Amino acid sequence: MSIEWANSVDLHLDLDAAGGRRQALEHALREAIRSGRLAPQTRLPSTRALAAGLHLARNTVAAAYEQLTAEGYLSARVGSGTEVAGAPARPAPAAAPAAPAAPRYDLRPGSPEVGTFPVDAWLRATRRALAAAPVSAYDYGDPRGRPELRAALAAYLGRARGVLADPEHMIICSGYVQALGLLARTLGGPIAMEDPGLPFHREVVRHHGADVLALPVDDLGARTDLLGRDGLAAARAAVLTPAHQYPLGVTLHPARRRAAVAWARAHDAIVIEDDYDGEFRYDRQPVGALQAMSPEQVVYIGTAAKTLGPALRLAWMVLPERLVGPLAAAKRLSDLHTESIGQLALADLIGTHDYDRHVRSCRLNYRRRRDLLIDRLGRHHRLHGIAAGMHALVGLPPDGPSEAEVVAGAAARGLAVGALGPHRHHPAEGAAPGLIIGYATPSRASYPAAVDILARTLHTL
């Protein structure tokens, strides 16, 4: 028979082995120890407790313990009970190939300074949110997300990003990647994506069954004037980063904004606005979201990954009314709903304006970091794009050194940096080389040293 202990430890024991009850118990314990289900130093129940749980005589359990102690499987100490004996030493396994050493300094783009996560404010928000949460908050929920967070975000996005957000037209997702995947799966058809752009996002779209079309980017942003023409004629959606293009760092020109909306209206298409770091503009007020120009043609996506930290896995979509039902259904089939406790805490953080205070603090921190980068690189290596965000594009001279040479030179000095080339949809002969520097990634203590190494690398190659 199969028994689960009710005392001290929970362990499934199969007493169906042939022989008497004592032999069956010895066999079950021996196999549990051999298989690793009972680890060394695991304390076993007393003979009285185990006998009661298995409906055996206490003497039967005591005899089994004595036999396994004699065999070396168990050890018994007066006053300490019986426990699994230490495992015999095993030969050391063959050494695995050494993993590449982590760089001492990391200026690759993609992450905020995670050490600035507002731990105290988050704890306070979580306590308040849990104290006020209805019992239903701990049950399965609406695939669109908690109403508290959707309401808080609608108010915040309206005043901070100019988004026309109705809480009923919002879906909370487990990160931007899930939002992009749900859209790719639901919209169908080819999706135009900025070139250059993040390669991983192209992989996400393809993984969910949509083809990717390259949408060129120049100094005025994405070439939305090309949508609906030639190789882009089949596109059913276009992913844009209007406030701060990644990786070139430019903002989408007003004429290009109008062209994107006009194309979506004329072709019954969708613009997907990725506003990943729209709050971080340093030389002027941030440009408002494109979504406000045409809420029924634009899907707005924001995320907590860049303002708070990627670990939260919280993002949000503001949708045209016609897409709410299909995307809510797709979200339900994907993971039912995003976890609720983090949603409640973020709603409280926004409602108390602790979120605004944190964003302002990060904005000042990243502005200082960008200024230091400009100062240390000097006039020979200027930054491209607007004063915004958490990354900068550093141009390299066309006659060398190459991106690969600079990346290797920095690595030899213990510094990791990003290259522009891999962000292009296809290798482009004669394309301007550059480095993508994530100046938010290092800790505050290590950032100046990382920038100094970058400057020395660029000045000596």
How large is the angle between the packed helices 340-351 and 119-132, nearest 10 degrees?
A: 110
- pLDDT for 7 equals 46
Decide if 391 contacts 246 (C-beta within 8 A). yes
Report whether the peptide linkage leading into residue 196 is cis, meaning its omega lies within 30 degrees of zero: yes
Give the chain's end-to-end CA distance (angstroms, integer).
Answer: 74
How large is the angle between the packed helices 199-207 and 176-187, nearest 10 degrees?
A: 40
- pLDDT for 6 equals 41
| HEC string for 246-275 | CCCCCCCCHHHHHHHHHHHHHHCCEEEEEC
- pLDDT for 9 equals 55
**Which CATH class for the 105-110+357-460 domain?**
alpha beta
Distance CA 191, CA 213 (A): 6
Q: Which amino acid is at 430?
A: G
- pLDDT for 88 equals 58
- pLDDT for 4 equals 47
- pLDDT for 288 equals 94
Distance CA 222, CA 244 (A): 11
* Domain 2-84, CATH among 3.60.20.10, 3.40.50.10540, 3.90.870.10, 1.10.10.10: 1.10.10.10
Helix (H) or strand (E) holding 298: strand 298-303
- pLDDT for 54 equals 83
- pLDDT for 32 equals 87
**Which CATH class for the 118-353 domain?**
alpha beta
- pLDDT for 79 equals 73
Radius of gyration of the chain (CA): 29
Alpha-carbon separation of residue 424 from 202, 209, 428 (angstroms): 11, 21, 8
pLDDT along the chain (461 residues), means of 10: 49 68 88 88 87 87 91 84 76 66 92 96 98 96 98 97 97 98 96 97 97 97 96 97 96 98 98 96 92 98 97 97 98 97 98 97 96 90 93 92 95 97 90 95 95 94 80
- pLDDT for 2 equals 45
Sheet strands side by side (includes 170-173) = 170-173, 315-318, 298-303, 270-274, 237-240, 191-195, 212-218, 221-222
- The domain segmentation of the chain, as residue ranges, is 2-84, 105-110+357-460, 118-353
